[in-house]
């Protein structure tokens, strides 16, 4: 498959909008998915579900199968892990209230990064960083774009490589929830918790399953056939469903993460919906 196009009728269950750190509005992301022939999508913004109503409305208008989603950061043994949540219901607002606390932590982290960049001779305007976030969750991609605008770096990937990635001089670790806490939040909202981009985290899966994990993101940008086969084996061992997606943010932010560019078998969508129904039945 051409990496710049999607198979007609494909699915992509890992998409970001400008409600967090993506470049495009929820409606624009849905329209791009329709243009590429993607039949089913999930918007999974970082620590926010603010873009879901707009995305769901656009998906209904354009005839796409739409799943609610979110991606929440957690940490265990100083290792950052991301947990995806799918098919949840937040009518009582409890999940959004918890996510608001995570977003506040992101603001403090971003401000500290700007202070470190200032000390490195690269002052940025906080108001401009907020403007780039367009009311969404402030993240490192917004700081990276501000660095590009000011001419301190030539591209967003360069900003990460030189200053914002872990181990680089402007990186600031974030206080995170534990995987157990995140999994519980998702399950309490009626959702299905899935470990995002799990390669390298296989040794942690057993403990996450004990905490209520239900799936692995087996199909992901850059994963080889051998990696996928190994992750499918882990999923089978623990009775986990398999999901997948591109982790699309916009090609200017993540050039290799192309919407619809990962082949995710249709059976993954059916399995995710089935597991959601099973979990819902078990709570009655």
pLDDT, tens digit, for every residue of 229-239? Answer: 999 999 999 99
Query: For the residues 47-63, what does the mean pLDDT come to?
Result: 96
Backbone torsion region of residue 47, taken as left when φ is above 0, otherwise alpha when ψ lies between -120 and 50, otherwise beta = left
Query: 69 has which bridge partners?
Result: 86
Closest CA to 140 of 22, 49, 14: 22
Nearest to 273 by CA among 66, 92, 71, 72: 66
pLDDT higher than threshold 70 for residue 5: no
Would you state the pLDDT for residue 175? 66
pLDDT value of residue 8:
57
CA 73/CA 66 separation, integer angstroms: 23
Residue-wise pLDDT tens digits, 246-271: 999 999 888 999 999 999 999 999 99
As a whole number, mean pLDDT of residues 49-63 equals: 96
pLDDT in tens, 126-170: 999 999 988 777 889 999 999 999 999 999 999 999 999 989 999
As given in the structure block, the two tokens for residue 45 are: 């913004």
Residue-wise pLDDT tens digits, 175-203: 678 999 999 999 999 999 999 999 999 99
Cβ atoms 37, 259 nearer than 8 A: no
Helix (H) or strand (E) holding 67: strand 65-67
For the stretch 27-43, pLDDT in tens is: 999 999 999 999 999 99
What structural domains and CATH numbers belong to the chain?
A: 10-98+175-283 (3.20.20.140), 103-164 (1.10.150.650)
Look at residues 41, 50, 47, 62 and name the one whose alpha carbon lies nearest to residue 19.
50
Bigger pLDDT: 238 vs 105: 238
pLDDT over threshold 80, residue 106: no
* Mean of pLDDT over the chain: 92
Burial class (CB in 10 A: 0-12, 13-18, 19+), 199: middle
Q: Provide the pLDDT for residue 108.
A: 86
What is the rounded distance in angstroms from the CA atom of residue 191 to the CA atom of residue 182?
A: 11
Sign of CA dihedral 146, 152, 156, 161: negative
Of the pLDDT bands very low, low, confident and very high (cuts 50, 70, 90), residue 101 is confident
Query: For residue 3, what pLDDT band results from cuts at 50, 70 and 90?
Result: very low
pLDDT band at residue 2, thresholds of 50, 70 and 90?
Answer: very low
Please tell me the distance from the alpha carbon of residue 111 to that of residue 126, in angstroms, as a whole number.
8
């Amino acid at each position: 498959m051409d990496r710049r196009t999607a198979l007609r009728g494909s699915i992509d269950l890992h998409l970001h909008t400008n409600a967090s750190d993506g470049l495009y509005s929820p409606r624009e992301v849905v329209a791009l998915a329709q243009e590429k022939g993607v039949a089913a999508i999930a918007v999974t913004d970082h620590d926010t579900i603010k873009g879901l109503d707009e995305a769901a409305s656009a998906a209904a208008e354009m005839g796409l199968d739409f799943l609610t989603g979110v991606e929440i950061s957690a940490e265990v043994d100083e290792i950052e892990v991301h947990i995806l949540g799918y098919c949840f219901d937040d009518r009582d607002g409890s999940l959004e209230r918890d996510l608001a606390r995570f977003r506040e932590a992101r603001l403090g982290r971003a401000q500290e990064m700007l202070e470190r960049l200032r000390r490195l001779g690269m002052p940025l305007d906080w108001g401009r960083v907020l403007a780039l976030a367009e009311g969404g969750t402030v993240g490192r991609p917004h700081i990276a774009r501000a660095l590009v605008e000011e001419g301190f770096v030539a591209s967003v990937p360069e900003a990460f490589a030189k200053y914002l990635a872990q181990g680089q001089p402007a990186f600031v670790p974030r206080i995170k929830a534990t995987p157990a806490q995140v999994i519980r939040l998702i399950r309490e909202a009626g959702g299905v918790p899935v470990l995002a981009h799990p390669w390298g985290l296989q040794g942690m899966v057993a403990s996450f399953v004990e905490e209520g994990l239900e799936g692995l993101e087996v199909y992901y940008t850059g994963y080889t056939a051998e990696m996928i086969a190994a992750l499918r084996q882990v999923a089978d061992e623990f009775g986990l469903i398999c999901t997948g997606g591109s982790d699309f943010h916009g090609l200017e932010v993540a050039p290799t993460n192309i919407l619809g560019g990962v082949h995710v078998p249709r059976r993954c969508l059916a399995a995710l919906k089935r597991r959601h129904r099973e979990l819902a039945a078990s709570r009655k």
